Structure formats: C-alpha cells, structure tokens
Amino acid sequence: MVAFFHRNPWTAEDRFKAYVALKKQDMHLKIYGRSTLKMAVENTRYEVVLKLFESHNLVVFSAEPQVGKLLKLLKKIPQLALLAGIVDGQFLSKNELVRYSALPDLQTSRAGLVTVLNSMPAQIVHNLNHHQQTLVGHLQQHLEIQQKPHEGAEVT
C-alpha cells in the first residue's frame, strides 16, 4: 500500500509523533521531492501521481494494505491530508480508500460466497419438490374425506 498526503505546517514534535504512530503499525513515512518521484513513476501507469506533488507532500508505505488502520491514525494527525493511494495495484482516490477500508477481508468474502453457492442446490431441490409435495398432501386429504363414512348415514 502506498498513500499520498498533503502536509500542512507541523512542528518537529508533531512529525516525530506521526513517525512513531505509523511505525507502530508497520508503516513508513517518507518525504520525497517531485524530481525523485518523477524518476520513480515516469513512464508507468502511476505517472498521474506527479500531479499530486505540487507542494508539501509525503508518502506512507506499508507492505500490507492497512487502509482502515491508516484512516484511524489520520484522525490523530490533523496535519496530514490524505489525497490518494495505491492498494493492490489500483490507484484509488480518498473516497475509494474509505470505501475499501469498509470492505470485509478476502477470507470473509470467500466464506460468504461459498455459503451462497452451497445453499443454492438445496433451494433448487426444495423449489422443484414443493409443488409435488403440496399435490400429494391435497390428494391424501381428499382420499381421507372420501373414505370416511358420512356422519348422517347409518352403517349396516
């Protein structure tokens, strides 16, 4: 995961607190100039990132996509404004990053899919047998009614 931020003015103490908070979450805060970033992303599909680096910007790196943790940390660091990010090879805006953080993890999604796929055959069998079972029930009731002697008639 790579996140791009605009940096508002901050003190050395605020910067240190941000570094420590991010480091605890296994994220790394780096400040690069536009020329350094240009060498890194020029002629790649992420070249659009250069448009974000017009003023005081910085980058946060993480080996794993920890978007939810990053957004929680940003509430404690008001000097940083999230601009965009790259998660799983996709360039995402701030709003898309917020939506991404609300998604369940991959294992949970797979488990939900397996549950849905396993329930479908049982539902199909139930739907196919429902009308037959209803017909059999009605025929049995009709047969019971015809086999009962009429209440007003005498049996000899």
CATH number at residue 21: 3.30.70.1730
pLDDT averaged over every residue in the chain? 87
Predicted pLDDT of residue 151: 59
Question: Nearest 5°: CA angle at 66, between 2 and 39?
Answer: 10
Match 């999604």 to its residue by tokens: 109
Using H for helix, E for strand and C for coil, what is the string for 87-140? ECCEEEEHHHHHHHHHCCCHHHHHHHHHHHHHHHHHHHHHHHHHHHHHHHHHHH
Q: Which residue has the higher pLDDT, 123 or 67?
A: 67
Whole-model pTM: value is 0.68
Predicted pLDDT of residue 119: 85
Question: Is 92 inside a domain boundary?
Answer: yes
Structural domain including 48 reads 2-102
Task: Write the burial class of residue 29 (CB in 10 Å: 0-12 exposed, 13-18 middle, 19+ buried).
Answer: buried
Q: Does residue 147 carry a pLDDT above 90?
A: no
DSSP letter (8 states) at residue 149: P
| Per-residue model confidence as pLDDT tens digits over 19-30 | 999 999 999 999
Question: Is 155 inside a domain boundary?
Answer: no
Predicted pLDDT of residue 36: 86
Predicted pLDDT of residue 105: 82
Question: Is 128 inside a domain boundary?
Answer: yes
Average pLDDT over residues 52-56: 79
Question: Is 9 inside a domain boundary?
Answer: yes
Q: Are residues 115 and 46 in the same domain?
A: no
CA atoms within 13 A on the CB side of 129: 6
Name the phi and psi angles at 93, rounded to 5.
-80, 175
Structure tokens at 71: 């957004």
Predicted pLDDT of residue 72: 93
Q: Are residues 11 and 72 in the same domain?
A: yes
Q: Are residues 81 and 20 in the same domain?
A: yes
Q: Which residues pair with 57 in a beta bridge?
A: 6
**Dist. CA 124–CA 129, nearest whole Å:** 9
Q: Does residue 154 carry a pLDDT above 60?
A: no
| Per-residue model confidence as pLDDT tens digits over 84-133 | 999 988 999 999 999 999 888 888 889 988 988 888 888 888 888 888 88
Predicted pLDDT of residue 41: 86
Average pLDDT over residues 5-10: 89
Q: Are residues 98 and 108 in the same domain?
A: no
